Every structure is written in C-alpha cells, then in structure tokens.
Amino acid sequence: MADALSVVPAAVLRNLADKLYEKRKNAALEVEGIVKQLSVAGDHDKITAVINLLTTEFTYSPQANHRKGGLIGLAAATVGLTTEAAQHLEQIVPPVLNSFSDQDSRVRYYACEALYNIAKVVRGDFIIFFNQIFDALCKLSADSDANVQSAAHLLDRLVKDIVTESDQFSIEEFIPLLRERMNVLNPYVRQFLVGWITVLDSVPDIDMLGFLPDFLDGLFNMLSDSSHEIRQQADSALSEFLQEIKNSPSVDYGRMAEILVQRAGSPDEFTRLTAITWINEFVKLGGDQLVPYYADILGAILPCISDKEEKIRVVARETNEELLAIKADPAEAFDVGAILSIARRQLSSEWEATRIEALHWISTLLNRHRAEVLVYLNDIFDTLLKALSDPSDEVVLLVLEVHACIAKDPLHFRHLVVFLVHNFRIDNSLLEKRGALIIRRLCVLLNAERVYRELSTILEGESDLDFASIMVQALNLILLTSAELSELRDLLKQSLVNPAGKDLFVSLYASWCHSPMAIISLCLLAQTYQHASTVIQSLVEEDINVKFLVQLDKLIRLLETPIFAYLRLQLLEPGRYIWLFKALYGLLMLLPQQSAAFKILKTRLKAVPSYSFNGEQFKRTSSGNPYQLLHQMSSGSQISGDGDINVDGGKSQNGINFAARLQQFEQMQHQHRVHAKAQAQLRNTSTSLSKDVQRQEEPRQPLTSDLNASSRSSKRSPGQLQL
C-alpha cells in the first residue's frame, strides 16, 4: 500500500473518487501514465501495489464514487500495461467481475465499460476468465437498467469477436455453462444464449453439432416464446443445425431423438411442426442408430397424424410411411413388444386416423414378425376385442383383418370366436350395431363355413339361453341375407344330396335349436321341408309368443326376396314339394289374420297357378285350393323330392336322422320354456311389490300392431341387426 501511495499522488487518488466523471477520467489518465512508466521500468511490484490499492480502497469501497473510480482506474492501468497486462489479469479482472452485481446501476455500467477496455487490450489472454465473464454477461443481458444492457451488449460483441479468433477457447468447458441456462424464461437471456450458439456454430474449429443434444431441448423451448424475434432466432438456429446434420457423416441421433419425441407432443403448434420435421429427417438419415428408438418415435408420430394443423399431419404421415418401409430385424435391437405397446395405447386415441394407423402397424408386424407378435398376444388381445366396438366402420374392418391374421392358427381362431361371443354377450349394443358387419367380414377373411361351425359349437352349450336365442337369430338373419354367405347358402341347399351340405346342416342345427324360427328358416334354406313341417307341428303354446311372431314376420318378408326365389319357383310343382306347401300353410296358420305378414303369405300361396295341379286332383277339389290337396297327396305314397316318405318312413334322408334332430329341438325348447317360466315368476314377484307402478303402465297394443311396427322399423345401417 505504501509503495502505491508513494507512486500515485494524493491529488490523483482524490480525483479518482470524485463525483464528477471528468475528474475521475482525468485521474484515470494519470494512473495510466504512472503504470506505463512503471511497466517500462519493469517495476511490476509497484504495479501490483497500485492495482491492489485500486481494488481494496476503491472497487470494494462502500462509496459508489470510489467504486466507479476504482473501475476506471483498473481499466486505465491495463491500458498502461499494454502487452504486459496479461501477467496482472488475475488481480485486475476479478474485482471488475464482482462489480457486475453491484446494487448501483452506474457502477454496473462502469464495470461493463472497464471490462470492455481491458478486453480490447488483452484480447485472447482473458479467455481464462471466459466462463465467469459469460455468466456475468448472461445476467447483465437482462439488467433492469437500459444503459447497463446497452453497455453489456457492446461488451458481448467484443467478447464474441475475441472468442471466435482465439485458439484457447474450450467448448467442452463452455457447454455445461450453456446447458444450465438453456431453460431460463427471460427473453433477454434467451436472445443472449441463441446469439452465442449461433456465433460459436459459425466458427469452423468449434464442433457445436457434437454438443447439440446438450442444448437442443432448450432451443425447442424457445420456439414457443411469446417474442416473435426469439422464436425466429431459435428457428433459424435449429434450421442451420438440421442442415449440418444432413451434411455430417457422424451424428448422435439417439440422444436427440429422445428430445424430439417429447417435443412432438408440445401444446405449441410451431414446436410440434419443427419436432416432427426433425424426426422425419432423422428417420431418413438415422438408419441403424434409430432402431432402438423406433417405438418412441412411433409414439410421437401417431398422435400427430391426427393433428389439427395440416402441415403437421402431412409430415407425420410421410414419416410414418418411412418407418413402415424400414424392415428392421428383432435381432438388431428392433423391439416388437415396445412397438406393439405403443400401437395398443394409440388404439384408445380419440382420433380415428391415429387408431387406423395403429392397426396398420399391428397388421404389418403380424405379417413380418408373426412369431414375435404372438408372444405378446395376451397384452394386445383384449384391446383388439374392445376395438370391435369402435364407432368407425373402417377401424372395425381393420381390427377384423388383424384378428383374422391372428386366427390363422386353430388355437387362436377358437380364442377369437370365444371372446367375440363373450363380447356380444356382455354388450348387446355391439351385437345389434356391429354384429352383421363383424360376422360378415370374418366370414370373408376366415372362411364362412369355418366361422359358422365354430359359432354353432360355442352357442350349442351357451348357458345364457336368452342370449343364445338372440345370437342364433342374428346369425340366421346374416346367413339368409348377406352376399358374403351365398356359398354357404348354396351348400345348405344341397343338404339332402351332398354330404358336405348335410354335415353343415347338422352342425348348425344343434345351436339353431335355441330359436324355433331359426330352425324353420334353416330347414327352408336346406330344403328339408318335411322336417320344417314337423317342427312347426311340434310347437306348443308357449313357443308362439310375440318374439316368435316378430321373427316369423321377418321370415315371411324374406321369402319374398331373391334369396328364396328357388323356393317360390318350387311352388309351381306342388306334387313334388307337398311338404313345402304344408310348411308354408303351417306358418300361415300361426300368423294373426290381421297382420301384414299373413296377407303377404296368403297372397303368395294364392298366386300358385292352377295348371300346376294335374287334372285328376282338380276333379277331387273343385275350388282348386292347394291346401285341400295336402291330405290327398300325402296319402298317395307316390310323392318324390323333399317329401319322399318312402325312405325310412320320413325319419332319415342322406344320413340325416330327422327323428333325432326333432328330439334335439324339443329338448332345447323345453329348456327355454322352463327358463321363461322361471323368469316370469321372478317378474311376477317383483311386480306384486310395485302394484302402484303397474297401474300406471299403458295398455299393450294389439299383437298385429307390434308385428306391423316391427316391419316398419326394418331400416338399418349395413352393420346393424334388427333382432
């Protein structure tokens, strides 16, 4: 201290602490001259003493003017040292950096000015303080005083110039400093950081691309900044890095892919678009490096396929197609289970397009890696079954294709049909709204006969009799009306002459017994008219209820469709098809006379032309009514065709034991009647406890009204059933 006082006059020290800037400036010039003389003389001890004096007595003084004088004095000392300044920087720079956090904005301003002048002198030699300087500048960029901010910007530009020309700058030491600050929200700090990233990236000798994963997330954060300028700067920096990635032979795609996946789900539209664009390029460029990340990438892409912004949807679809085209091998870290997990999760998406693409992925994996997919079948099967209730027909059809692909194996086929029946049982609306669509599509994909045989086997032992009846009626309606089942109908028509048709008839018969009308329909389709007549005759009072008559109404209307054209033409040969007449007249007798179905069937039977009966028969029946011929013709024992009673007394035809079938039907119907009585008793018990409610019930409409109403409500969508 004494050495310094002997060198620096007291007047200079007084002026250095003066409140007037001009006096402080003049005193600083005096200090510069003194230090310059000492430097020329090589007296560095005294120079050190002068610097210590300026530091302890001035820059750390409680008086603001002293601190200002100390800062300008240190800058002047550095100018005086010129080329010799580097060896004294350890003394000069720390007190200046300390002043950046001074409470007085003017002190902070002079600190910027002082460090600016120091940096101009020492240039690259002060790189050893770069991290501390960068930290200080980062804070000053958001200073509350505009003048301080302006001074900091000037200093920042100079520091950038020095760094870009220095070969001592360590990017490895700088990156942790940058990474710590990348998530700061202050807009001034963000501009400061992007500025540094851009500058350093422009330096050929600095490999910023190699450290991109360290600050990539922060740049994406800035894309959603409220300031348009910051968003633009961040976007510009990202665009430049993406271009470098395209041109670089070695890039760490993996770490960045994790960041991009997160950003693809950002609520900010611009951030999502940028992230999905990067992912798109990564998928094209990344190759094997990205195989372990395919599941995560897919998880980011699928939701974007349904994005509200068209640009995002377009890029997401393109990326998805690129991924699908890559044929990765499970042996090369391609995780089939992870991909399936993502696809399964996206099946619950609220967006149809996303659900559709998720199904395409499952289908693709099944085709390429069937064995691996089947290992995870238990994880996805329930979700696939639930997807059958999807509101989108396209989704349901794709789900069925996936199910069909899985069901190529007999075990999985059985599993599928059992679960399908279970879902129909617990969700009646699924059967009603989608039953026809699901069954028809499965028949196309998996062979109609195979599907119907399996369904029949399951329903034969169904314990829920009400459901079994409804399900059989639904299957019967699909069988009678669907174009996809035309071959199955043709096979059943040959039940009396073709062993394959007989086997199918017998197979379906067992479960069709749950519904009298389904059995009658099956017999009419199979042309086993004698058995149909026998079944009709076997019906008892309890069988003929409203549900039965509604089903009968629908059957009569179906008889007028092209599907049963062959049956109507057979009416032209009453001698050969006497049992057909008897069956139809039996149905006619069951219908209420005032119902529309009665009138339809009666009109059809009356339309049989008189020339179809031989002259001898007309002599015996002056009215020409075919029904009057039934008894006469059946007693003649010369009938051929379906009514051939010369074979086993009508008990067996083509190996079909109709007596056993009838017994099977009657036993099943007996179970239904017992069940119905039990249900009625429960309802009566419940009703007796709520007589007041019962009195308020409206009277039922006449039966004929119920039937007519049911026929009027036959309009339905292609995937719906009217049971």
pLDDT tens digits, one per residue of 656-679? 899 999 999 999 999 999 998 888
Residue 66 pLDDT > 70: yes
Residue 481 pLDDT > 70: yes
Residue 79 pLDDT > 80: yes
Q: pLDDT, tens digit, for every residue of 680-709? A: 888 787 766 655 545 555 554 444 444 444
Supply the pLDDT for residue 249.
Answer: 82
For residues 623 and 532, give the distance between their C-alpha atoms in angstroms, rounded to a whole number.
Answer: 27
Model pTM score:
0.75
Q: What tokens does 516 get?
A: 């009298």
**How sure is the predictor about 178, in pLDDT bands with cuts at 50, 70 and 90?**
very high
- The number of beta carbons lying within 10 Å of the beta carbon of residue 379 is 12
Question: How distant, in Å, are the alpha carbons of 150, 456, 521 from that of 572?
Answer: 106, 34, 20
Average pLDDT of the residues in 283-302:
89
Q: Give the position of tokens 């001009």.
A: 22
Average pLDDT, the chain: 86
Highest mean pLDDT among 554-563, 615-624, 698-707, 712-721: 554-563
Instruction: Give 509-520 as a 3 state SS string.
Output: HHHHCCCHHHHH
Residue % of the chain over a pLDDT of 90: 61
**Strands in 59-217 per DSSP E:** none
Is the CA virtual torsion 227, 231, 232, 234 positive or negative?
A: positive
For residues 402 and 423, give the distance between their C-alpha atoms in angstroms, rounded to a whole number.
Answer: 17
Which residue(s) pair with 653 in the sheet? 656
Say if residues 338 and 295 touch (Cβ distance below 8 Å).
yes
For residues 18 and 62, give the distance between their C-alpha atoms in angstroms, rounded to a whole number.
Answer: 14
Amino acid at 422: H
Question: How distant, in Å, are the alpha carbons of 140, 291, 407, 447 from that of 435?
Answer: 70, 40, 18, 17
Supply the pLDDT for residue 704.
Answer: 44
Residue 103 pLDDT > 90: yes
**How sure is the predictor about 462, in pLDDT bands with cuts at 50, 70 and 90?**
very high
**How sure is the predictor about 3, in pLDDT bands with cuts at 50, 70 and 90?**
low
Residue 159 pLDDT > 80: yes
Supply the pLDDT for residue 653.
Answer: 59
Instruction: Point out the least confidently predicted range of 282-286, 476-480, 523-527, 581-585.
Output: 282-286
Q: How far is CA 185 from the centre of its chain?
A: 33
The string of DSSP codes covering 394-426 is: HHHHHHHHHHHHHTTSHHHHHHHHHHHHHHHHH
Residue 645 pLDDT > 50: no
For residues 283 and 318, give the distance between their C-alpha atoms in angstroms, rounded to a whole number.
Answer: 10
Average pLDDT of the residues in 169-184:
90
Supply the pLDDT for residue 689.
Answer: 61
Q: Which of 341, 224, 237 lies closest to 273, judged by CA?
A: 224
Q: pLDDT, tens digit, for every residue of 537-549? A: 999 887 888 888 9
Q: 159: Cβ–Cβ under 8 A, 6 or more apart, which residues?
A: 119, 130, 133, 134, 137
Question: How distant, in Å, are the alpha carbons of 245, 477, 565, 633 from that of 536?
Answer: 80, 19, 22, 19
Instruction: Point out the least confidently predicted range of 104-113, 270-279, 408-417.
Output: 408-417
Residue 501 pLDDT > 70: yes
Supply the pLDDT for residue 715.
Answer: 47
- Which DSSP symbol is given to 281? H
For residues 477 and 518, give the distance between their C-alpha atoms in angstroms, rounded to a whole number.
Answer: 8
Supply the pLDDT for residue 277.
Answer: 96
Is the CA virtual torsion 11, 14, 17, 20 positive or negative?
A: negative
SS3 call for 486: helix
Say if residues 455 and 419 touch (Cβ distance below 8 Å).
no
SS3 call for 653: strand
Supply the pLDDT for residue 523.
Answer: 96
Amino acid at 654: N
Supply the pLDDT for residue 657.
Answer: 92
Counted residue by residue, the chain has a size of 723
Supply the pLDDT for residue 642.
Answer: 52
Average pLDDT of the residues in 227-246:
94
SS3 call for 221: helix
Residue % of the chain over a pLDDT of 70: 88
Q: Specify the pairing of strand 656-657 against strand 652-653.
A: antiparallel
Secondary element (H or E) of residue 657: strand 656-657
- Which DSSP symbol is given to 607? T
- The number of beta carbons lying within 10 Å of the beta carbon of residue 227 is 14
Rg (the chain; Cα; Å): 46
Say if residues 88 and 128 touch (Cβ distance below 8 Å).
no
Average pLDDT of the residues in 584-592:
94
Q: pLDDT, tens digit, for every residue of 356-369? A: 999 999 999 999 99
Residue 620 pLDDT > 90: no
**How sure is the predictor about 86, in pLDDT bands with cuts at 50, 70 and 90?**
confident
Residue 639 pLDDT > 70: no
Question: How distant, in Å, are the alpha carbons of 505, 535, 574, 712 from that of 642?
Answer: 15, 15, 11, 34
